[in-house]
Amino acid sequence: MTFTKLCVLGLGYIGLPTASTFATHGLQVVGVDVNPQVVETLRNGGLHIHEPGLRTLVEAALKSGKLTVSEKPEEADAFIIAVPTPFYDDQCGDYAGQKYKLADMRAVASATEAILPYLRNNNLVVLESTSPPCTTADLVAPILERSGLKAGVDFYLAYSPERVLPGQILRELIENARVIGGITPASAQAGRDLYAIFVRGEILQTDATTAEMVKLMENTYRDVNIAIANEFARLAERFGVDVWEAIKIASLHPRVKILSPGPGVGGHCISVDPWFFVAAAPDITPLIYNARQVNDAQPHYVVDLVKRALGSLQGKKIAALGLSYKPDVDDLRESPAVEVVHLLQNEGVLVQAFEPFKPDTDLPGITAVPSLAAALKEADAVLLLVNHSELRALMPEKLVAMTPARILIDTVNGWAGKDWAGAGFKVFRLGVRK
Ligand code: SAJ
């Protein structure tokens, strides 16, 4: 199949890079977002999301005239749906007394409905949003078939998840292997024809439900493996072991690769996607469910570590370093570091937080300061919450001159291997009690 014109619905972290990449590879692309502010910002040359290299790419796509933005779809050869699939905040499922989160598929449903008036014979529709198993067949296909056209017969329908790592989206979009699941083999082939325009990684064709499961399995696998690392950290503390040393040694085994413990699992993917499995089949997912519980409890575990370091927390001043959900990004969504700060404040701690990738952070209920110096200046203790390169590089002799605090609490093993004691600091590390 050949493509001249493409419509991308949803101009977020995935839709915008995808639309722009297709445009810079010669397709005429209409980027659609229901949020008028997003459309307006892009039209005025602005950018509503941060991702390395994205500004240059979007500018090139817009300037070439190949990318336009709009609040409504148009007729096109292909449609890509890349809208958010969060979970509901205000409702949950219950299986034998265990509460689980439910996927909110309203954005997928309404984006699909928005395509309906423009759907024509031989079009291709691809869902990219992370979705529970069977979404393409059971939610998207029936909506599109209201057009009178039959999925897999009159038009092609496929599921192709994005698997890019925030911070490296532009490179991974092109280089990663891509899975395309068709509602029919011909739909998968049509999807391949589309993505082959820019994807240099392997393109694997399968059916739509397999592709949906692949995406959820990848992130669930990572979540469960982080949960076991967090549980190992707890065990190490109980038995007087340094978990980081133990992980390093165990990972020398040719078939073992243990991930890193930390303050919890954040972001909008790994802390969300496993719930899609649990909600779809709560009776057969106890491991996935419990891994989520372990990782969600990790911020509380950090608060216990802080208590161990400081005794009573009431009225203490803590400099919290790092607020993003993981190192070297500015994304604060579902960040465990933010949750730790909230929990500490609930215990009466006066927290001064500093996020080097977003020094102007303005989160409700959190006092964020614009510089490291401001965070450190009156602290009783320094808490490292995110392993940002810039924070990891701090040397004891520099820190000692910036703060009266002599207690350091390291939740990410960022400050290992330096002579903190020599500079007069006492260090408490997550996963270490020696
Ligand atoms: N984390 C740990 N320990 C580790 C690794 C990560 O605690 O050893 C934490 C991070 O600090 C962070 C969270 O887990 O809070 C998730 O970070 P991540 O780097 O593992 O993943 P994301 O959410 O940035 O991106 C993931 C990726 N999925 C996999 O690696 C299987 C990415 O490829 C997906 O495209 C993305 O989810 C997505 O959009 O689904």
Residue that terminates a domain, selected from 174, 209, 244: 209
> Tokens for 185?
């083999």
pLDDT of residue 42: 96
pLDDT of residue 89: 87
Residue 229's identity, in one-letter code, is: A
| Whether residues 305 and 161 fall in one domain | no
Q: Which of 7, 101, 269, 316 is catalytic?
A: 269
Does residue 405 contact residue 427 with C-beta atoms inside 8 Å?
no
| Whether residues 202 and 297 fall in one domain | no
Q: What is the DSSP letter of 413?
A: S
| Whether residues 265 and 410 fall in one domain | yes
Pocket test for ligand 1, best of 13, 219, 412 (most atoms within 8 A of CB): 219
- The separation between CA 333 and the C-alpha centre of its own chain, rounded to angstroms, equals 8
User: Ligand 1 in contact with 213 (CB < 6 A)?
Assistant: no
CA distances (Å), origin 358, targets 57, 77, 271, 283: 22, 40, 22, 42
| Whether residues 142 and 270 fall in one domain | no
Segment 59-112, tens digit of pLDDT: 999 999 999 999 999 999 999 999 999 999 899 999 999 999 999 999 999 999
Using the mean position of ligand 1's atoms as its centre, give its distance from the Cα of residue 270 in Å. Answer: 6
| Whether residues 239 and 176 fall in one domain | no
| Whether residues 228 and 329 fall in one domain | yes
Tell me the pLDDT of the chain averaged across its residues.
96
pLDDT of residue 369: 96
pLDDT of residue 282: 96
| Whether residues 24 and 148 fall in one domain | yes
| Whether residues 255 and 366 fall in one domain | yes
Segment 322-354, tens digit of pLDDT: 999 999 988 898 999 999 999 999 999 999 999
User: Ligand 1 in contact with 268 (CB < 6 A)?
Assistant: no
Residue that is written with structure tokens 């076991």 in the block: 228
Strand order in 156-159's β-sheet? Answer: 67-70, 28-32, 5-9, 78-81, 124-127, 156-159, 178-182, 203-207
3-state secondary structure of 74: coil
User: Ligand 1 in contact with 259 (CB < 6 A)?
Assistant: yes
Regions of the chain with pLDDT less than 50: none
| Whether residues 258 and 390 fall in one domain | yes
| Whether residues 201 and 298 fall in one domain | no
Residue 27 sits at the vertex; the CA angle it makes with 185 and 124, to the nearest 5 degrees, is: 25
pLDDT of residue 49: 87
User: Ligand 1 in contact with 431 (CB < 6 A)?
Assistant: no
User: Ligand 1 in contact with 333 (CB < 6 A)?
Assistant: no
Residue that terminates a domain, selected from 209, 240, 256: 209
pLDDT of residue 313: 96
> Tokens for 402?
């910036």
| Whether residues 312 and 393 fall in one domain | yes
Tell me phi and psi for residue 208, to 5 degrees.
Answer: -60, -45
Domain harbouring 95, CATH code? 3.40.50.720
Strand order in 381-384's β-sheet? Answer: 350-354, 317-321, 381-384, 407-410, 426-429
Instruction: Give the range of the structural domain holding residue 284, as residue numbers without chain letter.
Output: 217-434
| Whether residues 202 and 244 fall in one domain | no
Q: Which of 7, 66, 101, 215 is catalytic?
A: 215
Pairing label, strands 407-410, 381-384: parallel
The total number of structural domains that make up the chain: 2
Residue that is written with structure tokens 């996927």 in the block: 103
pLDDT of residue 50: 84
pLDDT of residue 166: 87
Residue that terminates a domain, selected from 167, 184, 209: 209
> Tokens for 298?
């990790």
Count of residues in the chain: 434
